[in-house]
Amino acid sequence: MVGAVGKVFPEYQVALSGESVTINCYSASRLRWMRNGNLLSVIGALVIENITQQLSGSYTCHGYRDRFKIIKFKASAKVLVAGSL
C-alpha cells in the first residue's frame, strides 16, 4: 500500500550551491532513495555534499518489503539550490 507508513524530513529544503544537504527518511521498512529513476542510497539519511543547482528537484524515499520488493510507501522531499553568494 503506497503512502501508508513512512515520512521524510525536511519535506522542503533550500540550500546554496556548494553546501551539504541531509534528508531523513523514517520507517520500519527497508529503504531506498531514488531520483529520476536512479538509486542514490539504501539508508535512512540521504546526504548530498557540495550540492549544485543541477541537483535541485524531488528526491523520493521508497519503503519496501524485502522478499518481493513490494513498495509499501513513497515519500518525497524537494530541494531547491540557489547560486552561491
For residues 72 and 43, what is the distance between their CA atoms, to the nearest angstrom? Answer: 16
> What is the per-residue pLDDT across 34-64, written as a single tens digit (0 to 9) for each?
999 899 998 889 999 999 999 999 999 988 8
Question: What is the per-residue pLDDT for 5?
Answer: 66
Residue ranges of domains in the chain? 7-82
Distances (CA, A) of 6 to 17, 39, 54, 82: 29, 18, 27, 28
In CATH terms, is domain 7-82 a member of 2.60.40.10? Answer: yes
> What is the per-residue pLDDT across 4-35, written as a single tens digit (0 to 9) for each?
467 899 999 999 999 999 999 987 778 889 99
pTM of the complete model: 0.82
- For residue 10, say if its preceding peptide bond is cis, omega within 30 degrees of 0: yes
Question: What is the per-residue pLDDT for 3?
Answer: 44
pLDDT surpassing 50 at residue 2: no
